[in-house]
Amino acid sequence: MIIDFRNFAKEENGNFFLLKKDVVENNFSISSYNSFNEIDKAKFNNLEEKKRENVFKVDLKHSIPQYILIENDKIVSFFGFQKASSNDYTFIVF
């Protein structure tokens, strides 16, 4: 998956291409932290409770879900990772 984000020219089956396609074609849904199932909520136990309320999940038709962190009405992270041996999702904030 990381390679797909580095190689924007990869066509038709890369995660970045599919993400863009789903957004452009309006093939996604957005849910807030409060509506997550317990498995998804557990991924964010490492965040302060106040920040958890600002986590959103974008479910895409053709690609993996993306989590977004919002602060002060702005997206501060739309990219993160979850290690195979960890239950926590970690946002990368630039």
Q: Give the domain ranges of the chain.
A: 2-91
Q: How far is CA 46 from CA 4, 12, 13, 65, in A?
A: 27, 35, 32, 19
pLDDT at 27: 94
Could you list the pLDDT tens digit for every one of the 94 residues in the chain?
Answer: 445 445 555 566 777 788 888 989 999 999 999 999 999 998 888 888 999 999 999 999 988 888 889 999 988 887 776 777 777 777 676 5
What single-letter amino acid sits at 16?
Answer: F
Whole-number Å distance between alpha carbons of 13 and 5 = 12
Question: Strands (DSSP E) along the chain, which ranges?
Answer: 28-32, 55-60, 66-71, 74-77, 80-81, 90-91
Question: What pTM value is reported for the model?
Answer: 0.74
Scan for tokens 């053709």, then name that residue: 62
pLDDT score at 33: 95
